[in-house]
């Protein structure tokens, strides 16, 4: 009997299949989260374009600009947590409950914020030294995001648990991440081109709003499916193979 690739993807093809299937399963359930995220992204972009802060002089940037950026980042982290919980519930139970997932997301938000701050610091230090160490850390600790969001590991333990999963499977992880992110970016870019051709010249503001909403609608389910599937694939690849069941067909045949 063939394995269900949605349950325990092992090779690259099965992992991409599982990500694709999960995207299809959560696309509609994640629309509320994606639209909120897209609207917030547009409001922040519109706010920054109106203020035109001088990024070369961060000390002279108004506090409300920092507050807007920080609030947008916090909302993005929260939506990531809720999206991962929603993907988890959809995958294992076939149902979701937005209000309970929001409550659970709020309880795990502080840990996720701490994890992401440490994660960003490690990746930033690695990138400052050389680009390759930053990329190495980014992939090595990426599954930790899922572990913290789903309550599978504590904030600090998630770094070690993630590293153990990715170790010796770094290239597999990188290719999976790059392919999934590239697919999302192609979809967003295609919508951007269509809006530029048919709408931007006549209605630039509406075009920007629609692009923000469309980008979030694509990015939220794609990223959640990737982050939810990758750790399962890595764990399945490290698990010992199941014992072979001897084929007794024809044992008592004449």
Q: Which value, in Å, is the radius of gyration of the alpha carbons in the chain?
A: 21
Q: Is the dihedral of CA 46, 214, 97, 183 positive or negative?
A: negative
C-beta of residue 171 within 8 angstroms of C-beta of residue 152: no
d(CA 252, CA 150): 50
- Show the tokens assigned to 231: 């750790």
pLDDT of residue 26: 94
pLDDT of residue 59: 73
pLDDT of residue 242: 61
C-beta of residue 15 within 8 angstroms of C-beta of residue 229: yes
229 burial (CB, 10 Å; 0-12 / 13-18 / 19+) is: buried
- Show the tokens assigned to 199: 């709408």
Helices then strands (H, E): number in the chain? 9, 0
Three-class DSSP category at 250: coil
pTM for this predicted structure: 0.88
Largest CA distance in the chain: 90
pLDDT of residue 65: 85
- Show the tokens assigned to 27: 């696309």
d(CA 75, CA 246): 53
- Show the tokens assigned to 197: 């051709």
Q: Which helix (H) or strand (E) covers residue 33, if one does?
A: helix 31-51
Alpha helices in 94-203 (DSSP H): 98-129, 131-140, 143-149, 155-166, 170-195
Three-class DSSP category at 105: helix
- Show the tokens assigned to 209: 């709003």
d(CA 130, CA 137): 12
Site of tokens 């990531």? 80
User: What does each of the 254 residues of the chain score in pLDDT, given as a tens digit?
Assistant: 344 444 678 899 999 999 999 999 999 999 999 999 999 999 988 888 777 777 677 777 888 888 888 999 999 999 999 999 999 999 998 877 888 999 999 999 999 999 999 999 999 998 887 778 899 999 999 999 999 999 999 999 999 999 999 999 999 999 999 999 999 999 999 999 999 888 878 888 898 999 999 999 999 999 999 999 999 999 999 876 666 665 555 444 44
């Amino acid at each position: 009997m063939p394995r269900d690739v949605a349950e325990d993807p092992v090779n690259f093809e099965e992992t991409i299949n599982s990500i694709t299937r999960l995207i299809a399963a959560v696309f509609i359930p994640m629309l509320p989260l994606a639209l909120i995220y897209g609207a917030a992204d547009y409001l922040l972009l519109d706010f920054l374009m109106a203020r035109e802060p001088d990024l070369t002089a961060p000390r002279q940037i108004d506090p409300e600009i920092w507050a807007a950026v920080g609030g947008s980042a916090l909302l993005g982290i929260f939506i990531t947590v809720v999206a991962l919980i929603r993907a988890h519930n959809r995958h294992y139970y076939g149902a979701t409950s937005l209000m309970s997932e929001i409550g659970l997301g709020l309880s795990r938000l502080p840990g996720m914020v701490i994890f992401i701050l440490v994660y960003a610091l490690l990746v930033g230090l690695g990138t400052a030294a050389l680009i390759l160490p930053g990329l190495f850390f980014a992939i090595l600790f990426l599954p930790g995001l899922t572990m913290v969001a789903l309550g599978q590991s504590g904030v600090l333990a998630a770094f070690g648990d993630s590293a153990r999963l990715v170790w010796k499977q770094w290239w597999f992880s990188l290719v999976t991440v790059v392919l999934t992110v590239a697919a999302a970016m192609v979809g967003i870019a295609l919508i951007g081109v269509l809006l530029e051709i048919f709408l931007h010249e006549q209605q630039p503001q509406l075009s920007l709003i629609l692009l923000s909403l469309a980008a979030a609608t694509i990015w939220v389910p794609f990223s959640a499916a990737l982050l939810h599937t990758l750790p399962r694939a890595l764990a399945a690849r490290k698990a010992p193979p199941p014992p072979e069941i001897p084929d007794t067909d024809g044992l008592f045949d004449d």
